[in-house]
Amino acid sequence: MLLFCPTCSNILRVSAVPPGDPSTDPHVGQNRFECSTCPYQFVITKRYYERKYMKKKEVEDILGGQGAWKNVDQTTVQCPNEKCRNDKAYWYQLQIRSADEPMTAFYKCTKCAKEWRE
């Protein structure tokens, strides 16, 4: 988490309170937030932490969403899902590696929507 100076709006950094400053002598050895631009400082007197859980971004299919698979070709190929075993799938090819490597085929079962590639 970033904290900003209430005086000049620059980012605050954490540093140790140095000895010799009469205004901070009782807090020598503790940490403080200090601004590198103006004289603002705030002594940290208690433990400070924050836990932030990141949300995983949901991305759409490479072709542009659920309806985009309807516009691609169909082929006869066995679905790898053991519960489905359908023999039709939507498919397209895409060059995802270097040019001297073969293209990668992406498949999506027409029945169970399982996706795989070869």
For the segment 9-35, what is each residue's pLDDT rounded down to a tens digit?
Answer: 999 998 887 776 666 556 666 888 999
Amino acid 115: pLDDT? 87
Residue 60, domain member (yes or no): no
CATH number at 111 reads: 2.20.25.10
Q: Which amino acid is at 5?
A: C
Residue list for the binding site for Zn(2+): 5, 8, 35, 38, 79, 84, 109, 112
Residue 82, domain member (yes or no): yes
| From 50, 58, 101, 115, the catalytic residue | 101
Residue 10, domain member (yes or no): yes
- Please give the Cα distance from 101 to 80 (Å, whole number): 24
- Please give the Cα distance from 37 to 40 (Å, whole number): 8
Contact between residue 36 and residue 13 where contact means Cβ atoms under 8 Å apart: yes
Q: pLDDT under 50 in the chain at which residues? A: none
Residue 110, domain member (yes or no): yes
Residue 61, domain member (yes or no): no
Residue list for the binding site: 5, 8, 35, 38, 79, 84, 109, 112
Contact between residue 69 and residue 61 where contact means Cβ atoms under 8 Å apart: yes
Q: Active site includes 87?
A: no
Domain count, the chain: 2
**Residue-range definition of the domain harbouring residue 13:** 1-50
Q: Active site includes 61?
A: no
